[in-house]
Amino acid sequence: MKKSINNHKGFTLAELMVCLAIISVIATLLMPAINALRPNKNKVMFKKAYYLAERIVAELVNDEEAYPFVEGKFGFDELEAVTINSETYQGNSKFCRLFAVRLNTLEDDATIAANCNATGTYDNPTFTTTDGIEWGLPVVDFSKEPVDDPDNPEYGNDYYSILVDVNGAKNPPNCEDNPSEASVSCTAPDRYIFYVRTDGKMKVDGFYAKKYLGETNMIENKK
C-alpha cells in the first residue's frame, strides 16, 4: 500500500510576523494621507454656523419691519418695540430674539425670550439649534455708534459678540479659537466668536476662523 503524502504547505511563524510587520509599515505610511482626506467636522460646522449668522445678520439689518429706518440710527441700535406675527420685540433682547426666530431651535419661544434677557455664554447657551450648535448671545446694547476701526478693542467687546460652540458644550475638546496660533490649545477648536457691528458688518479674530474663511474668500472688509 502506498503512503499518502501531504504536500500542503503553510506559513511559518517567522513568515507571518514579517507579513504583519509589512502591513504595519504600510498602514503607518498611509495614515497621514487618510487623515488629510477625512473632513474636519468642527471646521465644517464652523462654516455652517458662520454662513447662518452672516445671512441672518444681513437679513435683519435690512428688515425695515424689524429695524425701521430712523434718522441718526445705524441699524441694530433701533431698540424701539416692533410687533411681528403677534410677537413684540424691543430693547436689548430685540436682536437676540429676532436672530433666534430665524433658526431651527430646540427651545420654544418662551424659553428663548427668557434666555435672551440673560447673559449667554458657551456653557450657558441662549439656545441650541437642531444640528447641535449652541449659541450664546450676551445681552446686546446696540445703542452706541459703531466704531470705525475694526482693530479697536471696543469692536470686539461682549456687547457685539456671538459665542458659538459647534459641537455642544458637553463634547470635547471645548477649546476656543484665539487670534494667535500659539495660544490655541487644540488644532481643531470647537468654540468661536463672531463679532457683529451695529450696521451689520461682521468679523472674526480667531486664527483658525480666519484660516477657514480665507480658504473660501468669505472674510469681508470689516471697515
Q: What is the 3-state secondary structure (H, E, C) of the chain?
A: CCCCCCCCCCCCHHHHHHHHHHHHHHHHHHHHHHHHHCCCHHHHHHHHHHHHHHHHHHHHHCCCCCCCCCCCCCCCCCCCCEEECCEEECHHHHHHHHHHHCCCECCCHHHHHHHCCCCCCCCCCCEEECCCCEEECCCCCCCCCCCCCCCCHHHHCHHHEEEEECCCCCCCCCCECCCCHHHCCCCCCCEEEEEECCCCCEECCCHHHHHHHHHCCCCCCCC
Mean of pLDDT values over 74-86: 89
Q: Is the pLDDT of residue 159 over 70?
A: no
In this prediction, residue 2 has a pLDDT band, given cuts at 50, 70 and 90, of low
- Single-letter code of the amino acid located at 203: K
Reading the block at residue 216, the C-alpha cell is 473660501
Alpha carbons 75 and 68: distance in angstroms, whole number: 8
Q: Where are the domains of the chain?
A: 40-215
Mean pLDDT value of segment 149-163: 56
Listed residue (194, 201, 199) closest to 76, CA to CA: 199
- Of 66-80, 107-121, 129-143, 175-189, the range with the highest mean pLDDT is 107-121
Instruction: Kindly state the cell numbers that stand for 185.
Output: 490649545
How many CB atoms within 10 Å of residue 32? Answer: 9
Highest mean pLDDT among 2-11, 20-29, 40-49, 183-192: 40-49
Mean pLDDT of 135-152: 65
Query: Would you say the C-alpha torsion 8, 13, 14, 18 has a positive or negative sign?
Result: positive
Asked if pLDDT for residue 68 goes beyond 60, the answer is yes
| CA angle centred on 118, ends 56 and 48, rounded to 5° | 30
Q: Report the predicted TM-score, pTM, of the whole model to 2 decimal places.
A: 0.74
In this prediction, residue 108 carries a pLDDT of: 93
Summarize the confidence of residues 17-26 as an average pLDDT.
79
Length of the chain: 223
Under the banding of pLDDT at 50, 70 and 90, the label for residue 205 is confident
pLDDT class of 63 with cuts at 50, 70, 90:
very high
Residue 167 near residue 42 (C-beta atoms within 8 A) = yes
CA distances from 93 to 21, 25, 218 (A): 63, 58, 28
Do 175 and 188 contact (CB within 8 A), yes or no? no
* Average per-residue pLDDT for the chain: 80
